[in-house]
Structure formats: C-alpha cells, structure tokens
Amino acid sequence: MKKLLLAAVLMASATLFAQSPFDGTWLTKLDTAKFPTKPDKYTLSDNMYECLTCVPKVAVKADGNDQKVTGHPYYDTVAVKVVNASAVEIIHKKDGKVMFTDTETVSSDGKMMNDKFTDMTGTQPVTGEVTSTRVGPGPASSHALSGAWRTSKVDSVSSNGLTVTYKGTADGLKMSDPNGNSYDAKFDGKDYPIEGDPGHTMVSLKRIGNDTIEETDKRDGKVVGVAHMAVSKDGKSIQVDYTDKLHGTKSAYTMEKQS
C-alpha cells in the first residue's frame, strides 16, 4: 500500500511539473525590445570592408566576390558589393549556401541606417528591417557605411523569426521553432544540442524556480550567451534578459503567449 501511494505521489509530481508555466507557443513583441548600448563598427574604404566588432573581426575586399573568412560558425565567405555612395549589399555563405543577406542604406544626412535582411540559416527564411543610429563617424573620405552604429529599432521581423514553442518535461524542457531548430534538455547542467542549428550550438538549462529558467548557450565548449527567462505571474508573458558573452552586450525583450 505504501509503495502504491509513493508511486502515485511521484507520478503526480512529475505530471504537475511537466505542465510547466512555459508550456505553449510564444511570440516576441518587438516594441518591448531593449537593444545593446555597445555600437557596431564598420569601415569601408579603398575597396576594403571591415566589421570591427564581429568576433573574430572580418576584413575582406569589397568587390562583390566571395571572400574566405574563418572562425565564424554560420558563414565561411563574405561578399561585399558597393551599390552606390550610400548603400552596400553583403552576402554571407557557408559551404556555398547563402546564410544571410543584408542591404544596408545610409540616410542622406548620414545619421541613420536601414538594414533589410534575410536570415536563411533555418528551414525557411526570416526577413526583416532594422534601423540604426550613427553614434560615431567613419574615417575621412570613407563610404557612408563607415562609423559606429547603435540599433535603435527593429522595424519588422517575419513571424517565424519571433515564434518559439516550449513544452515542460518531468525533468527538463523542450523547445522548437518554425525554422527547424529544437532541443530536448534536462535541468542537470549538461550540454544538449540544438538540432537543426548550423552553428552547432549546445544548450544547458538551470531551473531557478518553477517559473524561471536560465539557459546557457555554448559553441566549441565556450559560453557564447546566457538567457534568463521568467514567466509572469499571470502566465501570459515571458521576460527574457540575454547576455551576449561573445560580443559583451546585453539585451532584453518580452514574449507573449499565443496558445
């Protein structure tokens, strides 16, 4: 009788936790986003393009052809094409496959930059637009893209780039998104793969409370980011605070429950 009672209690506990407050499909609300204060820095001069804040730094000819780069998990070539005095097209590829495209256009007064992007690292493209504000000048006689830029607004992102689904398990959490990325990780501090991720990111989870989780992302055994995720008391939203260890920045946003 005692064994039956104990088994029933354990089963009930597992079921209760499996029905976690994270269960459901969540959509990031762009109007809640808080962006890094650290700016991105570029130079484009004398037919050479440099991304000074990329890790590692990118330095390639701006001749429109694929240029080899190393040390980047999502691309191994970069092609930079100067469209005109205010616009540049950049294409990143990995193993010959296009991973990212960006068309960056600087305003006539040089104070703002619009980036129309397509992210093709998943099973379907994610598209969007980002507006950045100039916070530092470029070298004399360089292209308008040159200088320091701070993200001021994400104007739009396709819904597949904003949506994630979580499902609690007895001892962990499952994640999936519309772009073919997923994980099934336990709260044991061990690393689990993000399936479908061409960057081969690993995830470890720590349960801080029933409604709070800390996710640590790693590549090649090195921590690249930490996300602190907390479900609101009414269960309708998740607050995400993200520390980008690779670039030394912090950002935050809120996800609202869809179903």
- Considering the domain architecture, whether residues 103 and 127 belong to the same structural domain is answered as yes
Whole-number pLDDT of residue 4: 33
Share of the chain above pLDDT 70, in %: 93
pLDDT tens-place string over residues 174-230: 999 999 999 999 999 999 999 999 999 999 999 998 899 999 999 999 999 999 999
Q: String of b and e for 25-40 (b: at least 16 CB within 10 Å)? A: bbbbeeeebebbeebb
Other beta carbons less than 10 A from residue 259's beta carbon: 8
- Considering the domain architecture, whether residues 27 and 63 belong to the same structural domain is answered as no
- Considering the domain architecture, whether residues 120 and 67 belong to the same structural domain is answered as yes
In this prediction, residues 140-169 reach a mean pLDDT of 97
| Size of the chain in residues | 259
With 0-12 CB in 10 A as exposed, 13-18 as middle and 19+ as buried, what is 136? Answer: exposed
Whole-number pLDDT of residue 13: 37
Tokens of 239: 């607050």
Share of the chain above pLDDT 90, in %: 92
Whole-number pLDDT of residue 223: 98
Inside any domain, residue 129: yes
pLDDT tens-place string over residues 83-115: 999 999 999 999 999 999 999 999 999 999 999
In this prediction, residues 147-157 reach a mean pLDDT of 98
Q: Please provide residue 87's backbone torsions phi and psi, each rounded to the nearest 5 degrees.
A: -130, 145
Inside any domain, residue 226: yes
Distance of CA 100 to the CA centre of its chain: 13
Alpha carbon dihedral 126, 129, 130, 133, in 10-degree steps, equals 160
Domain containing 221 equals 21-34+160-257
Nearest to 199 by CA among 124, 95, 116: 95
- Considering the domain architecture, whether residues 53 and 152 belong to the same structural domain is answered as yes
- Considering the domain architecture, whether residues 164 and 138 belong to the same structural domain is answered as no
Identify the bridge partners of residue 169 per DSSP, sorted by sequence position: 172
Inside any domain, residue 10: no
Residue 167 is part of a domain; what is its CATH number?
2.40.128.20
Inside any domain, residue 193: yes
Other beta carbons less than 10 A from residue 135's beta carbon: 16
Confidence tier at 3 by pLDDT (50, 70, 90) = very low
Residue ending a domain, among 137, 157, 177, is 157
Tally of domains in the chain: 2
Inside any domain, residue 207: yes
Mean of all residue pLDDT scores within the chain: 93
Has residue 1 got a pLDDT over 50?
Answer: no
Whole-number pLDDT of residue 19: 75
Give the DSSP letter of residue 197.
-
**Residue owning tokens 């007064």:** 109
**H helix count then E strand count, the chain:** 1, 20
Has residue 9 got a pLDDT over 70?
Answer: no
Q: Sort strands 147-157 and 58-61 into parallel, antiparallel or unpaired.
A: unpaired
Has residue 17 got a pLDDT over 60?
Answer: no
Give the DSSP letter of residue 142.
-
- Considering the domain architecture, whether residues 44 and 152 belong to the same structural domain is answered as yes
Which segment of 10-14, 30-34, 148-152, 171-175 scores lowest on mean pLDDT?
10-14
Residue ending a domain, among 130, 157, 184, is 157
Q: Is 52 in contact with 44 (CB distance < 8 Å)?
A: no
